[in-house]
Chain A
Amino acid sequence: MSLLVVDNLVKTYPGGRKSPPVEAVRGISFAVEKGELFGLLGPNGAGKSTTIGCINTLVRPTAGRILVDGVDITRAPPEAKRRIAVVPQTRNLDSDLTVREILTYHGRYFGLPAAEREARADRLLEELKVADKARAKPKTLSGGQQQRVMIARALMHDPQLVLLDEPTTGLDPQARRLLWDILRGLHQRGLTLILTTHYMEEADRLCQRLAIVDHGRILTLDTPAALKKTLPGAQVLDLWVRAPRPLAPQLRAIPGVQNLEHVEVEGDGDEHERLRLFVDPKDGLLDRVLHAVREGGADLHHVNLAQPSLEDVYIHLTGKELRE
Chain B
Amino acid sequence: MTVFLALLQRDVLVARRNAGPLLVATLTQPILVVLVFGNLLPRMQLVADEFRTVMLPGLMAITMMMAGVQGVLMPLVQDLSGGREVDERILTPIGVRGVALERIVAGALHAAVAGLIALPAMMLLMHQVSGMEVHPAWPALLPLAALCGLLSAAFGLTLGTHVQPRFSGLLFAVVLGPMMLFGCAYYPWAALAALGPVRYLFLLNPLTFMSEAMRLAVTPNVPHMPLGLLLGGLLGFLALFTILGARSFERRTIL
Contact = CB atoms under 8 A, between A and B. Distances in A.
Nearest to A106: B88
B174 interface: no
Contacts of B90: 57-58
Nearest to B78: A95
Contact of B14 (A59, A78, A81, A96): A96
Q: How large is the interface on B (under 10, 10 to 19, 20 to 34, 35 or more residues)?
A: 20 to 34
B10 interface: yes
A197 to B, nearest CB: 20
B255 to A, nearest CB: 5
Nearest to B9: A108
B6 A108 contact: yes
A95 B83 contact: yes
Interface string A77-98: 1110110101010101111110
A96 B13 CA distance: 9
Contacts, number: 73
A97 B11 CA distance: 10
Interface stretch (B91-99, B135-143, B232-240): B91-99
Nearest to A77: B95
A88 B84 contact: yes
B2 interface: yes
B87 interface: yes
A111 B2 CA distance: 6
B93 A81 contact: yes
A30 interface: no
Contact of A92 (B10, B88, B93): B88
A93 B6 CA distance: 17
A58 B254 contact: yes
A92 B79 CA distance: 9
Most buried by A among B6, B89, B91, B92: B91
A82 B93 CA distance: 6
B255 A92 contact: no
Contacts of B253: 58
B88 A59 contact: no
B85 interface: yes
A165 B177 CA distance: 43
Given A96-B14, A105-B6, A56 B85 contact: no
A97 B88 CA distance: 13
Contact of B3 (A77, A86, A111): A111
B93 A110 contact: yes
A86 B88 CA distance: 9
Max chain B CB contacts within 10 Å: which of A56, A77, A95?
A77
A57 B87 CA distance: 10
Contacts of A106: 88
Interface in B1-40: 2-3, 6-7, 9-10, 13-14, 17-18
Interface string A179-198: 00000000000000000000
A78 B9 CA distance: 20
Contact of B95 (A78, A93, A94, A153): A78
B4 to A, nearest CB: 10
Contacts of A108: 6, 9-10
B197 interface: no
Contacts of B82: 90
A94 B88 CA distance: 8
Contacts of A88: 84, 87
Contacts of A105: 6, 9-10
A109 B3 contact: yes
A139 to B, nearest CB: 11
Interface of A: 13, 53, 56-60, 77-79, 81-82, 84, 86, 88, 90, 92-97, 105-106, 108-111, 153
28 contacts: A57-B254, A58-B87, A59-B255, A60-B254, A77-B93, A77-B95, A78-B94, A78-B95, A79-B93, A81-B93, A86-B87, A86-B91, A88-B87, A92-B87, A95-B85, A96-B14, A96-B17, A96-B18, A97-B10, A97-B13, A97-B14, A105-B9, A108-B9, A109-B7, A109-B88, A109-B92, A111-B2, A153-B88
Interface of B: 2-3, 6-7, 9-10, 13-14, 17-18, 78, 82-85, 87-95, 253-255
Given A92-B85, A108-B10, 12 more contacts: A59-B255, A77-B93, A81-B91, A81-B92, A95-B83, A96-B17, A97-B10, A108-B6, A109-B3, A109-B6, A109-B88, A110-B92
